[in-house]
Chains A and B, each alone.
Chain A
Amino acid sequence: MDNLQLLVEKYQLSMISALALYFNSAGEPEKGVDLLTSALEKWPEEPELYDELVFLSSKSGKTAEAEKNLLKAQVLLPEAPFVYSSLGKLYFLKKEFTSAREQLGKSIQLNPEDGVNLLFSALTSLAILCVDERISLSELPEPQQIEIDLQRLKELNPEIVTDDFLKGKELLAQNNFKEAFKYLEKSLNSYLNKKIEFTRFHQFFFSFYKEPEKFDLEELKKYIQELEKKWNLSMSSEKELNRLGCCYVLFFINLVKSSEEQLEKALILDPEFEGAKKALGFLQKMRNDMLPLIDSLRF
C-alpha cells in the first residue's frame, strides 16, 4: 500500500475515509488511525473523520493519538458540537465515564438533534450508575430522563433501534440498570460495527480507484437494483439513499468509459476515421474534467 501521506494527497475526503475502513477490515486499524490523523491536517473540520478516528483508535488501542487530535480540534473549533461529541465517545470507549458525560453533555447542548450522542450519553449515565459509586445519584439524570432520551433517539436515529436496544429500554424501565446497560451497549456495538464496516458500497469505489481491473459493473448494477428495491419498499436508510446516488454516478462514469472504449475500437478498425478521432478527443477531455468532480463525492 502506498505511503499514507501520498494517499491523502491523491484522494478526496470520502475515499480517504473508505481507505481507513479498508485498513480496519484488513486487520490493520492502526494504519487507518495514521491515515485519518494525516487527513485531519488537510480537513480539520470534517466531523466524519473525527468519529471514524475515535472508533478505529478504540479498536487499535491508539486512543492517545485520537485524544491528542481531538483536543487540538477543540482549541481550533471551540463551538463545534462534533468535537465534543467525538471526544465524549472516545472517553466512553476508554471507560472514562465522567469525562465522557461532560463532553457529551456539551455536545447535546449545542446540538440536541444527534441521536447517537443520546445513546452514548444514556450509556455513560448507566455506567456511572452501575460502576462508579463515587458519583452521587443526585448528579445524574433521573432514569426517567434516560428513558426519554432513548425514546427521542428512536425518533432521530431509527437505524440504531435493534432488539437489544428495545430489551435494554425495557430493563431500564424496570430499574435493572446493569442488565439495561448490557443490552444497550450491545446495540451500540452493533451500530459502531456497522459504522466502520468496509461495505460492498465502499468496495465499488475502492475498485474504481485502486483496482480498476477488478471493477465489476454487473455487480454494481445488481447492487443498484437492490438499493432501489429497498427504497421502493421504504426500507432504505438516509445513508443508503446517498449511496444509491453515488452508485449511479459511478455507473455513469463507467458508461463514459464504455463510450471511450468503443471509439478506441473504431479507431483500431479504421485509424483514419476522423469522426471517431474527434469524438474520442472531446470525450477524453470531458472525462478528465469530470474525474475531480467524482473524487469530491461525499459518502
Chain B
Amino acid sequence: MDELRLPKHKEKIGYRGNSYAVETEYDALLNLVSVRLFKNRRLVSSRSIRIRDGQIEKSTDREEIEKIKEKIAYYHREEYALLISLFELSQKLKLNGDGPAHHSLGLVFLGRELLEEAKEELLLALVKTPNYSPVYNHLGIVYLKLGMIDESIKNFQTALKIDTGFADYRHNLGTAFLEKKSYLEAEKEFQEALKLNPRYQEVYLNLGFSCLERGRVEGDISSETILKEALDNFKKAYQFGFKKDLRMEELLQKAFTWEDLSRIYMLLKSLLTEGSSLEIKSLCDYFSLRFKYDPKVVEKKEVEDYLLQLSQEIVEGKNYPDLRQSLALAYIFYSRYILRLAEKKFQNFTQLSTEKKTGETNLKIARELEKKIELYLEESHQEV
C-alpha cells in the first residue's frame, strides 16, 4: 500500500485559548479512515469509518485510489466543519439558547470527548432548566470521565432524586461507585437498575466485573461463589444483547478461573463499546441543534449524508426509538430542499410556458406546502 501515498490531512483551529486539531488518515490494514481529534496536542477522541465497497481489493487501480483519497478528504472536511460549527453553535446558544439546546450541545461535545466544553454547556443548561434530570445524569458522566468521582456521584444522585425510575441513572451511579472501588454500593445500584430494566446488558457486565474486582481486592480470587456470580452475570450480559458468537459461548462454558472471567469481561466490553450508540446519538443531537439554530446554513448534501449514516446505523442494529425519531425529523428537514426544487421548476415553467395558470397554481401549492413544513419544524423545535 506504500505506493498509494494516501495523504494525511491535518487542520487546526484555535478557540478561546485552546488549540484543536483534526487529523485524518487511511489505515490500509483495516480498510478504515481514522479521524482523530486533538485538543492542545492531546488526543481526545477518534472514530473509524469503514470503507464499505471493497475498494481496497482494487487498490492497484488508479481510479479506486482516487476514490479513497476523495473519501479521506471528505471525512476530514466533515469533521473539521463539525468542529467549527460546534463552536459557532456554542456562541449562538449563549445569546438565545434554551436549556435543552445547551444540553444537546453538551452531549455533542461529550460524544467528541471534549469534556470541558461539554461541562460548560451542561452547566448552562442547568442554569436555564434547573430541574431537568438528564442534564444531571450527563454532567455526572462528564465528571466521571474527568476523574471527579464525588462530583459525579452527586450529580447522578440528584438526577435520581428528580426521576427515580431511570435504570440508566442507577447504572451510572453504580459505575461511579465502581470507579471509587466501593463495590458493594456499586452492586446495590446495579441491582436496582436491573429491577427497572431486567434486560440491561451493560449492567450485568458491570455487575460481573464488580464481583471479580471485589474478589481481587478481598484477596479471594478463587472463591467459587464470587466466580459463579460473575459468570452468571456475564452469561446474562451475553444473552441480552450480543450477536450469537460460538467462540464466546465456548468461553462462557469453559470459564473456570478468575483470569478466564477477566478475559470474557474484556471481550464482552469491547463488543459493547463497538455497539455503542453514543457517537450516532451525539450526531443526532448535533443535527437537531443545527436544524433549529442554523437552518439556513445547513446544506442539502450534509443532510443527505446524515440521513444515509443514520439509516445505516439503524439497519445495522441500533434500532432505538430516539434514533428513529431523529431520522423522522431529518426526513422532514430534508423535504424542504425538495420543495424548493419543485418551486424553482414551477417558476421556470411559468416563465417559459403559455400555460401560466398551471405554473402559477403549482407554484402556489409548493409554497403553501413549504409554509406547512416550516410550521411543523417550528412546533417540533419547541417540543425538543
Residues on B with beta carbons closer than 8 Å to the beta carbon of A294 = 365, 369
B98 CB to nearest chain A CB (Å): 16
In the complex, what's the smallest C-beta–C-beta distance from A258 to chain B, in angstroms?
Answer: 5
Asked whether, in the complex, the Cβ of A252 is within 8 Å of the Cβ of B372, the reply is no
Number of interface residues of A (CB under 8 A): 40
1/0 contact string of B334-368 vs chain A (CB within 8 Å) = 11001101111110110011110111011001101
Binary contact readout A253-297 vs B (1 if CB under 8 angstroms, 0 otherwise): 001101110110111011001011011001100100110011011
Decide yes or no whether B321 CB sits under 8 A from chain A: yes
Residue from B332, B357, B359 within 8 A of A255 (CB atoms): B332
Query: In the bound complex, how far is the Cα of B357 from the Cα of A296, in angstroms?
Result: 12
> Which A88-147 residues have a C-beta within 8 angstroms of B?
113
Interface SS majority for chain A: helix
Q: A266-B324, A269-B320, A294-B365 are in contact. Are A113 and B349 (CB under 8 A)?
A: no
Nearest CB in chain A to that of B348: its residue: A241
B74 interface residue (CB < 8 Å to A): no
What is the CA–CA distance of A290 and B349 in the complex, to the nearest angstrom?
22
Which of A49-57, A178-186, A191-199, A242-250 participates in binding chain B?
A242-250
CB distance from B152 to the nearest CB of A (A): 27
At the interface, yes or no: A238 with Cβ under 8 Å from chain B?
Answer: yes
Q: Is the interface of B mostly helix, strand, loop or mixed?
A: helix
Bound CA span A252–B334, Å: 9
Contact A248 B380 (CB under 8 A): no
By a CB distance below 8 angstroms, the chain A residues around B242 are: none
B376 interfacial by beta-carbon distance below 8 Å: yes
| CB of B245 closer than 8 Å to a CB of A | no
CB distance from B211 to the nearest CB of A (A): 31
B322 at interface by CB-CB < 8 Å: yes
**CB-CB < 8 A to A252: which residues of B?**
335, 338-339, 342, 369
Closest-by-CB residue of B relative to A47 is: B355
What 0/1 pattern do residues 303 to 346 of B give for CB contact below 8 A with A?
00000000000000001111011011101101100110111111
B369 and A249 contacting across the interface, CB-CB below 8 Å: yes
A244 touches B365 (CB 8 A): no
Q: What's the nearest-Cβ distance from chain A to residue B379, in Å?
A: 6
In contact, A293 and B362 (Cβ under 8 angstroms) = no
Q: Is A251 an interface residue (CB 8 A)?
A: yes
Closest 5 A-B residue pairs measured CB to CB?
Answer: A245-B345, A248-B342, A266-B324, A266-B321, A259-B331
Chain B interfacial positions (CB closer than 8 Å to A): 319-322, 324-325, 327-329, 331-332, 334-335, 338-339, 341-346, 348-349, 352-355, 357-359, 361-362, 365-366, 368-369, 372-373, 375-376, 379-380, 383-384
**25 sample A-B contacts, Cβ–Cβ < 8 Å, listed by A number:** A239-B353, A241-B345, A242-B349, A245-B362, A248-B345, A252-B339, A255-B332, A262-B324, A263-B324, A265-B321, A266-B324, A266-B325, A266-B328, A275-B322, A275-B325, A275-B384, A279-B329, A282-B380, A283-B332, A286-B376, A290-B372, A293-B368, A294-B369, A298-B358, A298-B361
